Amino acid sequence: MQFTALAFLVFEKSIEDYHQWDDVDTTIQNPYPEKSIEYYLYLKNWIDTVQWHLEDIIRDPRIEPVKALEIKRRIDKSNQDRTDLVELIDSYFFEKYRNIRPSEAATLNTESPAWAIDRLSILALKIFHMQKEVERRDDNETGKKAYQDKLNILLEQRKDLSLAIDRLLEDIESGKKYMKVYKQMKMYNDPDLNPVLYGKK
């Protein structure tokens, strides 16, 4: 099985599990062995899924300002958790391919495997929710076709992105490409780097 096929199955499992409750405060129950790649992929998508719904909630025009700030802080933390997990998944690939000797002509990809997988996780959410919109418009053929067209584009993106990720992994494994793991260094979350935070020390 290609890596992206496995990843997408895990993403779909995470999304399905979340929507049994459809509540941003639901406790995650990761079904995969701890520290396995499936465990990290499930956790990654669960974070994305909860954040997807937090982003919906905060856009409610009737939301109380205090509640909005609370949600914004949760989204900020979620973004940092997401970044940390992407870096962890990249470390998995870096370790997996650490003994591969790149060829002299090997090139560095503009995007690391895990950041591309991050996009695939978000795409799984888009596909799930667009499918729901298609089903919601069963009584309106014009509306249903418009959303089915959008869904078809998302499905095509899934195919193209999956192919690109799998090819990147194959190229790294064969030495045609090499990878590096960079820390994102999100300065606004660091009390030593954000002047608003370190100014209050």
Q: Is 196 domain-assigned?
A: no
Give the DSSP letter of residue 176: S
Q: Is 100 domain-assigned?
A: yes
Task: Report how far apart, in Å, the C-alpha atoms of 22 and of each of 14, 42, 89, 125, 137 are.
Answer: 12, 16, 26, 13, 21
Stretch among 26-35, 37-46, 129-138 having the lowest mean pLDDT: 129-138
- Predicted confidence at residue 188, as pLDDT, reads 65
Q: Is 199 domain-assigned?
A: no
Q: Is 90 domain-assigned?
A: yes
Residue 90 in tokens: 């990249």
The number of folded domains in the chain is 1
Q: What is the mean pLDDT of residues 13-23?
A: 98
Q: Is 31 domain-assigned?
A: yes
Is the pLDDT at 171 greater than 80? The verdict is yes
Is the pLDDT at 196 greater than 90? The verdict is no
Q: What is the mean pLDDT of residues 148-163?
A: 97
Q: Is 164 domain-assigned?
A: yes
Please give the Cα distance from 183 to 163 (Å, whole number).
26
Q: Tokens 């076709």 belong to which residue? A: 145
Please give the Cα distance from 118 to 187 (Å, whole number).
21
- Predicted confidence at residue 137, as pLDDT, reads 77
Range of the domain at 15: 3-188
Q: Is 197 domain-assigned?
A: no
Residue 109 in tokens: 């990809």
- Predicted confidence at residue 138, as pLDDT, reads 74
Q: What is the mean pLDDT of residues 68-73?
A: 97
- Predicted confidence at residue 161, as pLDDT, reads 98
> For residues 30 and 48, is the Cβ–Cβ distance under 8 A?
no
What is the value of pTM for the model shown?
Answer: 0.91
